[in-house]
């Protein structure tokens, strides 16, 4: 029971870093565990913590003591998130016209319905093998034409589409050095918009390591039904021939602007604000204090 209570605190502290109050159901989902735990057992531990006044319960939310203002903030962010989802779905639907895109997912705060009014909308794109750079080029042009795209150095990013991650279908697995609780959470919380070639299941399969952190959340994600879109293999092959020249042009353009980006033939990853180290440090610090 002591270990279980620590797990509950872990879930609540992690959420608190993002000023996010959790429902009991969300605690059941995000409690860190490598194997299934009966819901009744977790609920009993939650009730004991509330009774001991170690955590606060304001229906339907659980928060750390003295952090009830997060509940009001969450209500505001939920409203903003609903508006942003309309924009995200509209853009994702238009991106179906690009034959080399195999998957479009939403990450970041919006994926948790916790986006503030000033936040952008983070997209993760999976491209067909050997087409990452031509896919980025076509996606960037398309988003520029149909929506507001977040540009490097932008100050006003409200409702902009941030194309911060492109992966090749043969580079879906997270590197060993980054397999931690933060990346596990990001992997599972990503909301798939649509897919081709069964990429969603392949992505979860090669990243099954996340189960050792969030068994319940991983199982829920596996059961999620994702909209499938027909492939266009002919145009995919045609565009693959342009990959080399397009990659060379983009790399030359980026040369003087490169900072902390991860750029390879299979991965293009931009982090306007990399939260990983901050979250891990803050999580450890708060848990230690508690």
Q: CA angle at residue 194 from 188 to 195, to 5 degrees? A: 90
CATH of domain 2-67: 1.10.10
- Distance from C-alpha of 76 to C-alpha of 116, rounded to nearest angstrom: 8
Does residue 36 sit in helix, strand or coil? Answer: coil
Which pTM was predicted? 0.91
Sheet-wide strand order for 61-64:
22-23, 61-64, 55-58
pLDDT-derived band at 65 (thresholds 50, 70, 90) equals confident
- Distance from C-alpha of 233 to C-alpha of 151, rounded to nearest angstrom: 31
Domain span(s) for CATH 1.10.10 in the chain: 2-67
Which pLDDT value is given to residue 252? 86
More confident: 164 or 81: 81
CA 126 to chain CA centroid, Å, is 13
Residues 6+ apart with CB under 8 A from 44: none
The DSSP result for 180-191, as a single string, is SHHHHHHHHH-E
pLDDT in tens, 233-285: 888 888 999 999 999 988 888 777 666 667 787 888 876 667 899 999 999 99
CA 191 to chain CA centroid, Å, is 7
More confident: 118 or 231: 118
pLDDT-derived band at 1 (thresholds 50, 70, 90) equals low
- For range 144-164, the mean pLDDT: 91
φ, ψ at 241 (rounded to 5°): -65, -25
């Amino acid at each position: 029971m002591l270990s279980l209570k620590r797990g509950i605190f872990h879930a609540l502290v992690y959420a608190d870093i993002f000023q996010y109050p959790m429902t009991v159901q969300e605690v059941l989902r995000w409690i860190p565990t490598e194997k299934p735990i009966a819901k009744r057992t977790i609920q009993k531990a939650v009730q004991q913590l509330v009774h001991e006044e170690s955590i606060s319960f304001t229906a339907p939310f659980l928060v750390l003591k003295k952090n009830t203002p997060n509940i009001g903030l969450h209500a505001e962010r939920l409203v903003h998130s609903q508006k942003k989802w309309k924009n995200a779905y509209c853009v994702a639907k238009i991106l179906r016209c690009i034959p080399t895109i195999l998957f479009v997912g939403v990450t970041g705060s919006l994926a948790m319905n916790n986006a503030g009014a000033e936040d952008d909308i983070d997209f993760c794109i999976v491209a067909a093998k050997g087409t990452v750079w031509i896919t980025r080029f076509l996606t960037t042009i398309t988003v520029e034409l149909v929506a507001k795209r977040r540009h490097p150095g932008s100050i006003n990013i409200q409702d902009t589409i941030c194309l911060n991650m492109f992966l090749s279908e043969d580079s879906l697995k997270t590197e060993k050095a980054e397999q931690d609780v933060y990346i596990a959470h990001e992997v599972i919380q990503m909301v798939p918009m649509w897919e081709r070639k069964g990429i969603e299941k392949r992505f979860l399969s090669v990243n099954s390591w996340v189960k050792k952190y969030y068994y319940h959340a991983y199982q829920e994600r596996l059961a999620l039904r994702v909209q499938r879109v027909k492939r266009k293999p002919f145009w995919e092959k045609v565009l693959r021939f342009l990959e080399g020249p397009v990659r060379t042009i983009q790399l030359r353009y980026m040369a003087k602007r490169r900072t902390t980006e991860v750029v390879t033939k299979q991965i293009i990853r931009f982090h306007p604000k990399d939260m990983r180290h901050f979250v891990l440090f803050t999580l450890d610090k708060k848990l230690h204090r508690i």
